[in-house]
Amino acid sequence: MGGLVLYGINYAPETTGIAPYTTALAEHWAESHRVSVVTGFPHYPAWRTSANDRRMWAHETRNGARVLRRRHYVPSRQSALRRAAYEASFLASGALARCERPDAVVGVVPSLSGGVLARLAAARWHVPYGLIIQDLMAPAAAQSGISGGGHAARVTAVIERWALRRAQSVAIVSEAFRPYLLSNGVPAARISILPNWTHIRGPSADRTATRIRMGWRSDYIIVLHAGNMGLKQGLEQVVDAAKAVPVGLPVRFVLMGDGSQRALLEERGKNVGALSFLPFQPEAEVSDILAAADVLLVSERSSVVDMSLPSKLTSYLVAGRPILAAVRLDGATAAEVTRAGAGVIVAPDSPGDLLQAVGDLAARPDAMQAYGDAGRGYAATALGTSAAFARADTFLAGLLGPAERDLAEA
């Protein structure tokens, strides 16, 4: 049984973003390996920790994985300096975590410090390390709209390149990331694809009953955005589209979740009748709520191209509703929606086009059904847990040596 140390700032009980994937991988590997996870206290997507938990560290065991939590700074508002403090504080606290010597180390990016900690730990223990890239950090700094992002991107690029260059294996969630890695000197043979999978169950509740419970009228087109409300989502375009809904048109935009920009969005959308906000809902109910909507919305700033692939897409696809993506046509998100045949792409930062696309979909119920069916089918065939874990085992086997590789390929 090989030992593994995994560094990643997001982990259960966080239920959105990358935490569910990091948690599932750690717990899967813990079935056959000794796994320790160095992580933070829960803080995403609200960007705040529990006011009742002031511990500086905590140890626990979750489904076979030993979890070592370390306190770090959590910025309630985003800027390049605050993000740097967030990264640096986890880097410092994570480096102090005491783990049994492993046979390999894995870092999850973001955060950037997850990658740095992986390389430092691997050098200290003289073992190989691998990285799982959920977001590209230098492009994220440049594309997300964060204050001071241009300078931060240049500094981040240097650190990111340093973390990448010595990694034995680098797994990416989107093929759109591959050119960036190649340009930073990562050999093609070390790059593998590890797409995120559908980590929530399919919908099971009666759709009409769920709409009644949510207060959604049966004759209204509900356009739902679920998940983080941060800078890169560019949700101002959704608020402005809601403002443009003509009086009497049965369209309602719903923003469900939390994030650094929620308060600003609520202020921008004050007294807009075609717009409503919901908090995060219990994880067990999310799939039924998504399926009860008419259209599931992905929104990104026009500057976002290849920095990330929204984790919400897997949940959207399994819900079986058409996806409307207000994103760049040449970006990673558009490529995934198109590959799945699950919806429509419109230009970002164009509230008028967004609203028009909603009307066009509503006028084509057969097309809406076809998009939803295609998305559900794609999730079932391409984004299953078994296939994802098999890829993850091959990735880990590449770090742990020939014996592990033979086992993974058997």
CATH number of the structural domain spanning residue 370: 3.40.50.2000
Burial of 1 (0-12, 13-18, 19+ CB in 10 A): exposed
| CA atoms within 13 A of residue 1's CA, in its CB half-sphere | 7
Q: How high is the pLDDT of residue 23?
A: 98
Q: Is the pLDDT of residue 402 over 80?
A: no
Please answer whether residues 313 and 298 qualify as being in contact, where contact means their C-beta atoms are separated by less than 8 angstroms. Answer: yes
CA 19 to chain centroid, in Å, comes to 8
pLDDT digits (tens, 9 = 90+) for 272-304: 999 999 998 988 899 999 999 999 999 998 877
Contact call for residues 115 and 92 (beta carbons, < 8 A): no
46 contacts: CB under 8 Å, gap ≥ 6: 258, 259
The angle at the Cα of 318, spanning 22 to 230, to the nearest 5 degrees, equals 55
Has residue 307 been placed in a domain? Answer: yes
Q: Are 315 and 226 in contact (CB under 8 A)?
A: yes
- Same-domain check for residues 217 and 342: yes
Same domain, 325 and 355: yes
User: What proportion of the chain, given as a percentage, has pLDDT over 90?
Assistant: 73
Q: Both 177 and 280 in a single domain?
A: no
Domain total in the chain: 2
Q: Which domain covers residue 131, as residue numbers?
A: 3-197+384-409
Can you tell me the mean pLDDT for 361-366? 96
Alpha helix positions (H), 259-384:
262-268, 283-292, 312-319, 332-340, 351-362, 365-382
- Those residues whose C-beta lies under 8 Å from the C-beta of residue 142, and which sit 6 or more positions away, are 149, 150, 153, 303, 307
Q: If DSSP codes are grouped into helix, strand and coil, which group holds residue 228?
A: strand
390 and 195 in contact (C-beta within 8 Å)? no
41 plus 188 within the same structural domain? yes
**257, 372: one domain:** yes
Structure confidence at residue 41 as a pLDDT band (50, 70, 90): very high
Same-domain pairing of 377 and 388: no
The pLDDT value recorded for residue 152 is 73
Helix (H, G, I), strand (E, B) or coil at 264: helix
Would residue 175 count as lying in a domain? Answer: yes
Burial of 342 (C-beta count, 10 Å sphere; 0-12/13-18/19+): buried
Q: Tell me what pLDDT residue 208 has.
A: 96
Q: What's residue 46's pLDDT?
A: 85
Residues 96 and 138 in one domain: yes
60-94 pLDDT per residue, tens? 999 999 999 999 999 988 888 898 899 999 999 99
In the structure encoding, which two tokens stand for residue 196, read together?
A: 């995120």
Residue 384 has pLDDT above 90, yes or no: no
| pLDDT at position 78 | 80
pLDDT at 143 > cutoff 70: no
Report whether pLDDT(103) > 80.
yes
Residues 304 and 377 in one domain: yes
Q: Are residues 315 and 241 in the same domain?
A: yes
pLDDT at 380 over 80: yes
Q: How far apart are CA 386 and CA 218, in angstroms?
A: 37
Q: To 10 degrees, the CA torsion angle through 177, 257, 19, 379? A: -60
CA-closest candidate to residue 146, choices 88, 80, 81, 76: 80
pLDDT beyond 70 at 228: yes
In-domain check, residue 240: yes
Residue in this structure with the two tokens 């164009």, named with its chain if needed:
350
The C-alpha atoms of residue 35 and residue 170 are separated, in whole angstroms, by 19
User: In the numeric block, which tokens belong to residue 29?
Assistant: 């590997």
229-242 burial, b if ≥16 CB within 10 A, otherwise e? bbbbbbbbbbbbbb
Using 50, 70 and 90 to split pLDDT, how confident is the model at 53?
A: confident
- Residue 126 in domain: yes
Residues 244 and 155 in one domain: no
357-393 burial, b for 16+ CB within 10 Å, e for fewer? bbeebbeeeeebeebbebbbebbeeebeeeebbebbb
Residue with tokens 């973390």: 163
Q: Is the pTM of this model over 0.75?
A: yes
Whether residue 113 sits in one domain with residue 234: no
Confidence of residue 324 (pLDDT cuts 50, 70, 90): very high
Give, in degrees to the nearest 5, the angle at Cα 34 between 33 and 38.
Answer: 120
Burial (CB < 10 A; 0-12, 13-18, 19+), residue 217, is: exposed
Q: Does some domain include residue 202? A: no
Q: Same structural domain for residues 77 and 21?
A: yes
Output the pLDDT for position 149. 60
